[in-house]
Structure formats: C-alpha cells, structure tokens
Chain A
Amino acid sequence: MSENQPAVLDFEKKINEIEEKIKMLNALAKDSDMNIDKELNRLQQKLEKQIKMSYANLTPWQRVQIARHPERPQCLDYVNGLIEDFVPLCGDRLFADDATMIGGIGFFKGISVVVLGQEKGKDLETRVKYNFGMAKPEGYRKAQRLMSLADKFNMPVICFVDTDGAYPGIESEARGQAEAIASSIQKCLQLKVPLISVIIGMGGSGGAIAIAAANRVLMLENSIYSVISPEGCASILWRSSDKAKEAAEALKLTAQDLKSFNVIDEIIPEPEGGAHRDSVATIEKVGDCIYKHLQELLPLSREELKKQRNTKFLEMGRNLNIEA
C-alpha cells in the first residue's frame, strides 16, 4: 500500500541517479570556483531526456505507483493553492468529525464554492491523523451535509478524490458505511448546483464515487480510478496479491482507459515526469481545467444541472450498447 511505497519508484531510478549527480555538482560548486555550467547543462539535458523516456510509455502498474507517490500533491495542497479564504468546516452533526474528509467553503477564482476531498497525509503522523485517506461513515455524512449547504446557497461543489477506498472496519460497519456511501451518491445526484470531481490520485471504489457522481469528472493523467485495488483484485481472482501488476492491466484503470469508456470527461496532463515533480504547475493546471468546466456549467439552470448529471450516468452503460 501507499504507506510502504518508497519515494523513488523503480522505473524512476535512472532519473534519480542524474538528479543526485546534479545535486552533488551544485554542492561541490558552492565550495569552489570551479565552472560547472557546461557539465550542469549536459546533465540537465540528460535528465530531461531520461524523464521523457521513462514517462513515454507508462504501464498501468507504473501509473498506479505514480498515483500513490507520497510527494504527489494531495487534497489540502489543492485547497491551499486554489481556494481563497478557505474556511474548513467540521462534523456530520450526527456522530463526529472525520478528519479524512476535508470539507469547507471558500472562493475559487472569485466564485463561492464548497470543497470536499480525501486527504491521505504525507508522513506517519499525518497519515495516522487522516487515516491514510480512508473515510468513515461520518466522513460521507459530512460530505452530504456540505453538499446540502452548497445547494441551499447555490454554490458549486468541487471534490478532490484521493482514496484507496472507504475505511473497512468494525466501527465503519456499525455506523453504516454502506448507507453513508449510498446516500452520498444519492446526494450528488440530487444536487442542483454544478458538481465537479477531480480524481487527483487514487480513485478507490465506492469511497471515491461517493463524491464523484458529478456533472464533470476530470482525471489527472497519472491518477487511477477503479472498482477495486489491483492488490484486492489479484488476491480474489488470482488468489495472490503478487499478481497486482497483472490485475492493474486487466482492470483498465488508467485515465486513458476511462476516457475511452466515456466514464470521465477530461484528462488533465501532468508536468513532464509526473505531478510529484512539479506540484505548483499541476495545481495550476487542475485549477484552470476546473474553471473551464465550471464556466460551461454555470449558465445551466438548477434543474438542468441535476438532469444533466443523472442523464449522463443513466446513459453511461448504454453508450456501449448493442441495440437488441
């Protein structure tokens, strides 16, 4: 799982070697008068070439690894980068506040919005705090509450989806995880304001679609969206979690696959070498893409917004229909 994944992915080793060399060279140059410009230049070019090469033909499994990269921008990075005057809001008013489910209000490029999303955390401490991005029923009920708020005050909802899945535990079941997710999907489909969801990393199953039954679903180039994790699928169908690579291939979980099924609306390209190499540029691109879609949705009436969303999902399977 993500918490065990090293910051350097296996297929990125060559990139990392050159990066290390550049770092060393820079450190060396600091302490001496040596002119390193020429060598540095050469290495930079080599680095760019290597990144291009490594990222040219990514396998689904490599994309899974990138999607789980610990340095990949997460929900709160997008909130900090894109939302002005953000006011985090807490609690489902029924049981508790779920830290995993980030929720709040603020301005997105001058427009009042509600923001939702799962935060995974970046180090051990924050990962524990955010429960590794796995929300509990109170998280999905908090999401519903904030979506109602958005509906009441006519504010668009923006969701940043990044979860391996909803939390599977005794307390989750005791408090009705299934009902919480079902009702959250229902709430998404009842909204009469624009709802845009961006899969920024892991779109893990029911825990993801609970906040992604949206007018527009956007996906970062190297994020994934799947009915089950490759490991879970492998352990059920291959009876061995070592077959995760094969499962990742079979599940067709990349943004490119999903676009071909018309399940998502747009792929947001990542900077060369993945979102984790340039968070700032990634966040800006995501912001621009959300804004573009929001501009298309804002002229629609409240009824039209709801209808568009429902029709889209009802038609989804039928797009692939062979007429009987």
Chain B
Amino acid sequence: MNWLSDFVRPKIKKTTPKEIADDLWLKCPGCGELLFSKELKKTWYVCPKCGYHLRLYLDKRLKLLFDGTYTEFDLPEIKEDPLKFKDTKRYVDRLKAYRKSTGNQDAIKVARGNIGGIKCVVAALDFAFMGGSMGMAVGEGIVKAAEYAVKNKLPLITVANSGGARMQEGILSLMQMARTTSAVNMVKENGLPFISIMADPTTGGVSASFAMLGDIHIAEKGCLIGFAGPRVIEQTIREKLPEGFQRAEYLREHGMVDVVVTRSEMKPTLVKILSILTHRKVDSEHMKSEPLKSKNTK
C-alpha cells in the first residue's frame, strides 16, 4: 500500500467531534470521495462533489444560523446519572468521555442572538454527544429556551439532531417528551413563532415530541426523520426498506415537513419565515447565506 492508505486511513471519521483539525481526510458517505477537512469547513460540511450533507458540528450550526455573535446560556446543572446506570460501561464514564471529545457539557446548547436582525432563542442538539440523545439535560435546555422566549417575547427555534431518548436515564428520559412538549406549547400559546429545524437524524423521542410540533418545520436535505429507526423497522417487517424512505423529501411528500432546504438555503429560508411571521420586512442582505459566499472556493 502507499503512504496515503497507511497514513490517512485511521483518521477517517464519520462524525465531527469538536471542530475537526484542518489536515484530515474524510470520506463522503454520499459518493465515497475523500474530502480534505479544510475544504469541507469552507463548504459547511457539504460535499463539493455530490452535495451530500455531512453532519454539522454544533458550534458551526449556531454560527450558520446567527448573524454574528450570539450569547450562550448557562444551563442549570441537573442531577447526573439518577439511575446509577451501567451496561458494559458506566453511564458517568460515558458522559465524561463525550464531554472530553465534544468539549460540551451535554447534547444541547441554548443561545440567543439575531437571525436576520430578529432577536431569537435557539436550542440546538448535538448528534456528536451520545447521538444527541435527550435526557434531563437536553429537556432542561429546551424548557429554559422556551421560558426565555416567552419571558422576552422572542421566537423559538429548535434544531433537532438526535437519535431519540437517552436510555441511560430510563423513565426520566421518556418524561422529557412531555416536558419539552409542555415547553413548546407555552411558546405557541403565547403567540410566538416556534420553528423546528430537523437535521440528520431526527428520530425516536425527539421526533415524537417537540421537534414535530413546530408552527413550521424545516428539514435539511436528505436527513433521516422518523419515529422508529430503519433497523427496528426492518427487523419488525423483515424486508428491505425502499430507497429514500424516512428521508426529508419523503417526509415532505407525506405532509410532515414544510420545507426541505440545502444547508446553504437554511439561513435565508429561516430569515424569510421569521420576518413574515413577525411582520417585519428584513433587509435583503440577510437573505444571502454564509455558505454561498464560501461555496465557490473549491
């Protein structure tokens, strides 16, 4: 073998823990092309060859949505590992490992700032942290975001990016479905916009709670959205699933999402919707998107 396979191979990664280094090669899950990380960062992790949307690192997601600077919320500490859960590994050890690899406390960040000049609260999940799973920390994040939105009369935007409930927190993770639903209800009942963005993947307890209750649903191109994961369905019905099943476009066809956008269209679409719902015509400058600017640099 040559130097490339020897040297580069071990560094190929599917997900994006923290912001990855500049000098890595990643394999595009769409076309199999080897992509240089420095270039991928410029295209916001969209494959320049086939347009496949790789998963976006959480801070990058927030940067994509906000105009410029944004303020992150300190989330209240929650009781950690209430079940003293242990499978092949202790849950507290798993938490430690993910905190180290992502640099984040849990699978959520809540931030406020301007989007198209409109003040908003954003609660975004992070698939890189235990599959974005929703336990008490994520639930508390959504609740805090909703409470802040109501108190300050701001639109709420959630970004779902999660496999579902966090098994390691047992019934308490299931209860987050009711908690987050109650939270977003609060926003909606106060006449404030609640926009749900779905990224790859949005399944299980997250799709079956707050993520599916938006006034408007925006899904990122090609992302997996569903209640049961494809593997569970295949095991139940014992047949292969059709092409495109449970993808964003399928969900739109079946009436479950309003708009499917590419990553570069995400922000302008969001701004347009926000400006219409808040009755404020927004400067067209904001309709342009960051990714478009850097997309030509191949």
Contact = CB atoms under 8 A, between A and B. Distances in A.
A228 interface: yes
Given A173-B228, A173-B245, A182-B210, A258 B171 contact: yes
Interface string A253-275: 10001100101000000000000
Contact of B181 (A166, A170, A182, A252): A182
Given A190-B185, A250-B86, A263-B172, A169 B208 contact: no
Residue of B76, B88, B176, B181 with most partner-chain A CB within 10 A: B181
Interface string B83-111: 10111100000000000000000000000
Interface string B225-266: 111100011001100011001100000001110000000000
A177 B203 CA distance: 11
A176 B85 CA distance: 32
A258 B83 CA distance: 11
Interface in A278-313: 310, 313
A172 B170 CA distance: 25
Residue of A213, A227, A236 with most partner-chain B CB within 10 A: A227
Interface stretch (B20-28, B52-60, B136-144, B271-279): B136-144
A189 B181 CA distance: 8
A54 to B, nearest CB: 26
A175 B236 contact: no
A230 to B, nearest CB: 11
A156 interface: no
Contacts of A314: 143, 179, 182-183
Contacts of A168: 227-228, 232-233, 236
B161 interface: no
Nearest to A320: B79
A71 B224 CA distance: 40
A26 B191 CA distance: 71
A233 B210 contact: no
Interface in A186-206: 186, 188-190, 205-206
B87 A324 contact: no
A250 B209 CA distance: 25
- Report, as a range, how many residues of chain A touch the other chain: 35 or more
Interface string B133-158: 00010011001000000000000000
A178 B82 contact: no
Given A172-B228, A186-B181, A250 B85 contact: yes
A316 B179 contact: yes
Contacts of B182: 189, 213, 310, 313-314
B77 A321 contact: yes
Contacts of A261: 82, 171-172
A108 interface: no
Residue of A177, A263, A317, A321 with most partner-chain B CB within 10 A: A317
B173 interface: yes
B76 A324 contact: yes
A166 B228 CA distance: 9
A56 interface: no
A47 to B, nearest CB: 35
Given A251-B83, A253-B171, A263-B172, A206 B256 contact: no
Given A227-B170, A251-B170, A324 B77 contact: yes
B178 interface: yes
Given A168-B228, A186-B181, A261-B82, A226 B174 contact: yes
A227 B205 contact: yes
B227 A172 contact: yes
Given A170-B233, A324-B77, A205 B254 contact: no
Contact of B174 (A177, A209, A321): A209
A322 B79 CA distance: 6
A185 B210 CA distance: 10
B90 to A, nearest CB: 11
B77 A226 contact: no
A213 to B, nearest CB: 4
Given A168-B232, A173-B245, A320 B78 contact: yes
The 7 closest A-B pairs by CB, nearest first: A168-B228, A178-B207, A237-B87, A177-B227, A320-B79, A182-B212, A178-B227
Given A176-B254, A177-B208, 7 more contacts: A168-B232, A182-B210, A206-B177, A261-B171, A316-B178, A317-B139, A322-B78
13 contacts: A168-B232, A173-B228, A175-B254, A177-B208, A178-B212, A188-B178, A189-B181, A227-B173, A227-B205, A251-B83, A313-B179, A314-B143, A316-B178
Interface of B: 74, 76-79, 82-83, 85-88, 136, 139-140, 143, 165, 167, 169-179, 181-183, 185-186, 203-205, 207-213, 225-228, 232-233, 236-237, 241-242, 245-246, 254-256
